[in-house]
Structure 1
Amino acid sequence: MTSQTDSRQEFQEQSRQQLKSLLEEKEFDAAKAMLIPMQPADIADVIEGLPEAMQAIAFRLLLKNEAIEVYEYLQPKVQQALLEDFKHPEVLEIVDQMSPDDRVRLFDELPAKVVRQLFLRLSSTERDATALLLGYAPGTAGRIMTSEFVTLRETLTVSQALEHIRRLANAAETIYTLYVVDDSRHLIGTLSLRNLVTASPDQTIQELMDRDVIFVYTNTDQEEVAQLIQHYDFLAVPVVDTEQRLVGIVTVDDVLDVIEEETTEDIYTAGGVQSVGDDYFQTNLLTVARKRVFWLLILLLTNTGTTAVIRNQEDILEQVVALAFFIPLLIDAGGNVGAQSSTVVIRGLNTNEVRLSKSFGIVGREALAGSLLGIMLGLVVTLWAYFLQRDWGVALSVGTSLVAISILASVAGAGLPFLFKAMKFDPALMSAPFITTAVDVLGVFIYLTVARAILQL
């Protein structure tokens, strides 16, 4: 059964091919008619899949208001390409009518010279809104918030508030949550649109608003904002400055972008790859190699420790050559066990599910899990090793070592992320190479030491 996602992708591919054919045949009226009923996000996906020369043509077919909305959904690379193709007045009109947070996201991707030109040509209102967001550090609530929201005074009646909302609704990014401020714009309460429209017309906002307000500061990390919205199931969260004055809101659609960005960064980091942005697969190969080589060099150097251990124990390997056959098996198994432990701990740290105060309990739990895994895997490997070598001494050496290595890998995998978190390092970035080194070097040492004891060489 085809999933909804697969159906949507199939629809987009069919639409893309149809639009491409219409543009090739210069059937512009038919192409425009085809785009009219589509959602802006779907139109953006279709345009992105067109050859670069056709993207600007397809975009020009859109009505002005629709074009502005579609433009906000396009990838930064396509946005930049369209900027180069448009005449300046058209560019300015699109950029000027974008929401401030989306405009700032675009400016972050553009060359500084282009940003300066566009910024100076914005209307004074939009220039001020953009300058406000650009004044905050990247990765903070201030940088991703929008200034397009509705505020109310507590003295307004419900009927007055509804009339006020009607006047401002089209200019606001969301009206589902309303923010109550005093004369100095201090945030003093919130009110849902549901509660407003179901209240009596003569009731005042003061009677209806919730004074227990959840908010963030302009310098709050964007990942923390995302976690807050996720925890409280908010559609938006207010952003205040150091004096508790309301300066913006962060909406759930921006948070989804943050979650995707942070998850991508964590995945890259866990794999020892520095993020190169959204266009990784279009990035220059030399840049890709430079981003990957750092940790590979570190692993290459640290793994010389494994070579040193084997060289110091070469006498036992010369006497029982079969022992060497199982070194890759033990190292790989230990690495996999360590990776499993580190993955669950790092994810728990990122989602605040686990904290440093619980580190000893969690490491102990993973050590027990490693023991159970080691025993189960050890029994299987012991029998397999005996089947291959017909030597119980070698088989027991391999099985016993795997139990010890599994415990070591679990403790390292669970403990190192906590250690690096306490040292203010990124656990995802630092843990993987050190876990690999610990399992490789100590794993080989444990194996050959156990084999020497069992075989009494």
Structure 2
Amino acid sequence: MTEYLSSPLPSTSRTELRQLVRSQLQALLEQGNLPGAKALLVPVQAPDAAEAIEGLPETLQVIAFRLLPKGEAIEVYEYLDSSVQQALVQEFKRQEVLDIVDKMSPDDRVRLFDELPAKIVTRLLEQLSPLERQSTALLLGYEPGTAGRIMTPEYISLKESFTVFQALERIRSLAKYTETIYYLYVTDAARCLTGTLSLRELVVAQPQQTIGEIMTRDALSVQTDTDQEEVARLIQRYDFLAVPVVDTERRLVGIVTVDDVLDILEQETTEDIYALGGVQSDGDNYFQTNLFTVARRRVVWLFVLLLTNTVTGTIIKAQEELLQQVVTLAAFIPLLTGTGGNVGAQSSTVVIRGLNTEDIRLKEALRIIRREAIAGILLGLILGSITIVWAYFLQGNLMVAIAVGISLLAIALLASVSGSALPFLFRSLGLDPALMSAPFITTAVDVLGVLIYFSLARLILRL
């Protein structure tokens, strides 16, 4: 089993293997075959073991977790979803919880504490070893979503006067207590960051050389209050494995590692996707959030859209006389507003994503809006031409078909401009463009699109 798991497999095979482990694990536990379940779990990699435990019924999760050896249990616990972690904490005896929490890395421990009730956090903090309690308290003192909150204080620091031989000896003695040894950090007597050094550079240097001779000075770093998304972009941009975190006095207080950045990128992307759909997640797992909370968060923008549709309905009612004369005009209203909404959503999506990845900036707003306006015209010409032919084929009225086609051109232009301009506007006002743009684009396309349609229809049909 171990040999099979450690060999390279296609992603589909790994998925099938994880599903097989989970189903077999549940079957063994339900049969009461604990030795068999333990033998199945032990050779499995920690992330896969965590996924298998998460897929079990709650009553079996605790049993499965207890079967893991203590060292492996700590690693598996860090990969579990926060809701499962909380459930396990509630079930374990105090000492069992303490053993696991005390061995967790400080940044993972802080994430767990963020999800737990305050009373449990206080109790666990009191029982931690002095060193771990100090590390955790340090991280809990920073604002959520900042480098200080996600950093780990477990790093290796060196002095410029150390020789390469002395540095290697220090690494050997501290390696098992640190998050990573691949990047080393050089500090002065006041713990201020003066440079960085990679393990590669250290290994290839001569034993008698000093750290000051081989280190890189003026190293990139982030402040404790730097937004976590900016930290992620920095690591992504420069292909770092870790980035040092300093306080206002340039004292080194921790590092953010690439595995934390992957979690951040997933979290931020999820929030942006939710926001584009008008759903406020507030960082919670949407599918584990109370349904009343879900409804409260989603109803805000749905209510805005409800009002928009009411306004659109009022405009259509005001054109009752025109519609009575040319009833076929009503048949194309959903087509126009739907197409306009889709064009606006496309423009806003690319602009919002560009702003989030910093591919585009606020100062480029006019260029981007102009580009999207031209794209809207091209899309309008293509779709409008097809619509004229289709509308004439359906209704047999050339003037109505021309009115629909020209209206689609105008609406596509409107949707492209509003879809690209609104994200820039909201970003300049300090608002989340992903959350704010969708309902306003819908409003602009629905209300103004219907007005444009009826105005052009009156003009072309001379009514």
1 CA distance for matches of 2:437 and 2:41? 49
Aligned to 1:27: 33
2 CA distance for matches of 1:151 and 1:109? 31
Aligned to 1:175: 181
1:435 to 429, 435, 441: 441
1:40 offset after TM fit, Å? 0.8
1:377 to 366, 380, 383: 383
Corresponding residue SS for 2:229:
helix
Whether contact under 8 Å (2:107, 2:150) holds in the other structure is: yes
What amino acid is aligned across from residue 448 of structure 1 in structure 2?
F
Aligned to 1:365: 371
What amino acid is aligned across from residue 100 of structure 2 in structure 1?
I
Q: Deviations over 1:143-191 (max 9, x none)?
A: 0000011001010111110000000000011000000001110000000
1:28 offset after TM fit, Å? 2.0
Q: Deviations over 1:353-408 (max 9, x none)?
A: 10010000000000000000000000000000000110100000000100000000
The alignment status of 1:387 with 2:393, answered yes or no, reads yes
When structure 1 is superposed on structure 2, of 410-419 and 283-292 the one drifting more is 283-292
What amino acid is aligned across from residue 37 of structure 1 in structure 2?
P
Aligned to 2:84: 78
Corresponding residue SS for 1:189:
strand
2 CA distance for matches of 1:105 and 1:300? 38
2:62 to 48, 56, 60: 56
The alignment status of 1:455 with 2:457, answered yes or no, reads no
User: Identity across aligned pairs (percent)?
Assistant: 66
1:290 to 296, 317, 321: 296
1 CA distance for matches of 2:81 and 2:417? 42
Aligned to 1:46: 52
The correspondence of residues 79-228 of structure 1 with structure 2, limited to 5 A, is: 79-228=85-234
1:245 offset after TM fit, Å? 0.2
1:32 offset after TM fit, Å? 1.7
2 CA distance for matches of 1:444 and 1:112? 53
Number of aligned residue pairs: 455
1 CA distance for matches of 2:12 and 2:176? 34
1 CA distance for matches of 2:292 and 2:97? 33
What amino acid is aligned across from residue 427 of structure 2 in structure 1?
K
1:278 offset after TM fit, Å? 4.4
Whether contact under 8 Å (2:308, 2:446) holds in the other structure is: no
Aligned to 1:65: 71
Corresponding residue SS for 1:425:
coil
2 CA distance for matches of 1:377 and 1:17? 51
Q: Deviations over 1:299-358 (max 9, x none)?
A: 111332212322222221110000000000000000000000000000000011100100
The alignment status of 1:229 with 2:203, answered yes or no, reads no
Aligned to 2:308: 302
* CA RMSD, Structure 1 to Structure 2 (Å): 1.1
2 CA distance for matches of 1:276 and 1:416? 22
1 CA distance for matches of 2:422 and 2:74? 48
Aligned to 2:329: 323
Mind listing any 5+ residue stretches in structure 2 that lack a counterpart? Answer: 1-8
1:277 offset after TM fit, Å? 4.3
Corresponding residue SS for 1:62:
coil
Corresponding residue SS for 1:303:
helix
Could you tell me the TM-score, scaled by structure 2's length? 0.97
The correspondence of residues 214-293 of structure 1 with structure 2, limited to 5 A, is: 214-275=220-281, 277-293=283-299
Could you tell me the TM-score, scaled by structure 1's length? 0.98
